[in-house]
Each structure stands twice: as structure tokens, then as C-alpha cells.
Structure 1
């Protein structure tokens, strides 16, 4: 049996209006205990670009940027077994309590999935006819090899909810 890994707590507060969901942290993120910590992952670069914020490597400042802009971040998977960082290697997963989170934070008005795995899992958790708009965005992972510009263009969908 593989080692079981666990997600982080959500980054969210009562003013959050958008929820961005990944699948589960990769190896680098687990090592650093930070969302999207792999240096090649474009999540933080895309977020800073979208929000006209100065890019920073300081994790506390990154958290401040998303909170200030009413964005929450979490993962659809609470825990699983996985070798490496590939979503395709995820086994025996247990879901996070997304429905309960949304009840606790009623200001959330849209959900954005960072990649296909989070979208598929979210549909299993919430069902297909959920009350909030759910958008699938290209994964910010370096394993998803479309250009930064193409990813950024699709991620601009977030701006219509801010």
C-alpha cells in the first residue's frame, strides 16, 4: 500500500466569492505545506496577472492577495494514496466536504476547477445540477503543457465574478 497523503485546510473567509478547487497537493506542495508550491506551476503567476498584483514568492503575501480579492482555494480530495504528483496515480480517494463548505460560506457565487480531475471529482460530490456556476479551467500544473498565455486567457473567466 502507498503512503496516504492529505489535503490542506481551505484558504477562505466570509468575504470569499470565488472558490478555486484543485485535486490534491503535489509532492512539492506537501513538502512546503503550501498550495501550488512547485516552481513550474503557474497558479500564482496567473492569479497575480489576473488581479494586476505584483508577483511574489512570499506565501503569506500570496494568501493576502487572494483573500483581498475574495478568492478561496481548496482541493476536492481530502486524502488519497498516490505515488508522485500525477492525478492519474490517485487511488482510494476520500472527498473533501465541499457542500458543507459552501453552506458555511454563502457568499461563494462561482466555482472554478483547476484541471479535469478536480472537475470530475466535484461533479461526483455535488452532482451535475448544482446551484452555482462551475467552470473547468486548464490545469496550472507544468504537466499540462499548453502555453502560459493560453492558460491565462482561459483563467480570465474568473474576472466576470469579481
Structure 2
């Protein structure tokens, strides 16, 4: 067996950021290489997740440490997780994900009794909307915050995210 024919390593994702006060959960697909290395959601410096939330909430999230960011998520009723618990993948592209194992998405309503809706961050995550729709809540497809989603401008992504967050009282004026 040559080095190039070795199977990809099994990767394991990050634990959820959510609690009993979570009203909206954003589900990504699976953490990037940078996020896995840092053990932090959306750690790639070009990912616009923290920048978008900062704009929605009037907070400098991008400049805050990770603990302050996650505290802000909880304070605003936002949870973060991924649809995949584990997978095989080389690099960070969703298209490279193989042999994925789903997280226990069915447990979200029990874990988050105030949950109002679920938003999928990008197309790969949204492929599993049938699982989240089974919870009987509104389910949204948001444009990916990944740097790989360069066809959407920051302003266009922000507008789409603002619409969903406003519908569930998670914008700056309503939080």
C-alpha cells in the first residue's frame, strides 16, 4: 500500500454549544481543519461566522476571545453544533467528507426546551434538513459563512442571516 492510498483518518467533531435557553441553533456540517486544530467553532480567520454575528448583535466578536464569544452566543439564545459527529476528510472542503456519522439531532428539543428553529449553515448541512424538520420546528438554509462560499458577498450573507435571526428575536434590538 502506498502512502497516497492510505485511508483518510477518522475525524471527530466538536461538542455542541447550547443550553436550556437556546432558541435558535445554527448547524454547520463539520469543523474545518483550523477549527479542529484550535478546538473552536469557526476558527478559520476568513470564515465570516463571527463577523456576521458581531454585525447582528453590535459586538466586536471577531476581536473577542473564544470564551467571550461562546458566552455571547448563550446570552443571545443561540446554539452552535454540526450535523456530523465524525467523518473521514482530507482538507476542509465539505465535498471531501466521506463516511460521515450524524450527531444526535433528535435530542435537540429535549436538550433545548425553548428551541424555536434550526438554521443550517450551508448546503452540506442542509442536506440533513429532513432530520431537523422531524423535530416540528421551522428549518432554514443560510448561506455558508465559509471562505469557500465566495459567490455571496458579506452584505448578502448578513441580510439572509439577519432575516432568520430577526424572525426569532435574536438580532441586536431584540436580544
TM over 0.5: yes
CA distance in structure 2 between the partners assigned to 1:48 and 1:31 by the alignment: 23
What is the CA–CA distance in structure 1 between the aligned matches of 2:78 and 2:102, rounded to whole Å? 21
Question: What SS does the corresponding residue of 2:128 show, helix, strand or coil?
Answer: helix
**C-alpha displacement of 1:106:** 1.8
The aligned counterpart of 2:139 is 134
Larger radius of gyration: 2
SS at match of 1:111: strand
RMSD, aligned CA: 1.2
CA distance in 1, matches of 2:66, 2:124: 25
For the pair 1:143 / 2:148, whether they are aligned, the reply is yes
- Answer whether contact 1:81 1:90 (CA < 8 A) is retained: yes
Quote the offset at 1:130 in angstroms: 4.5
Please give the per-residue CA displacement for 1:78-127, whole angstroms capped at 9, x wherever unaligned: 0000010000000000000011122222211000100011010232x34x
CA–CA separation in structure 2 for the residues paired with 1:25 and 1:122: 18
For structure 2, which runs of at least 5 residues remain unmatched after alignment?
A: 1-6, 170-175
CA contact (8 A) 1:138 1:154 kept: yes
Aligned to 1:24: 30
Q: Which runs of 5+ in 1 are unaligned?
A: none
1:64 aligns to what?
71
- Higher deviation after alignment, 51-60 or 102-111: 51-60
TM-score (norm 1): 0.94
* Structure 2 residue 102 is matched with structure 1 residue 103: no
Query: Is the Cα–Cα contact under 8 Å of residues 18 and 74 in structure 2 kept in the other structure?
Result: yes
1:34 maps to 2:40: yes
Q: Which aligned segments of 4 or more residues in structure 1 are displaced greater than 4 angstroms?
A: none
**Corresponding pairs, count:** 160
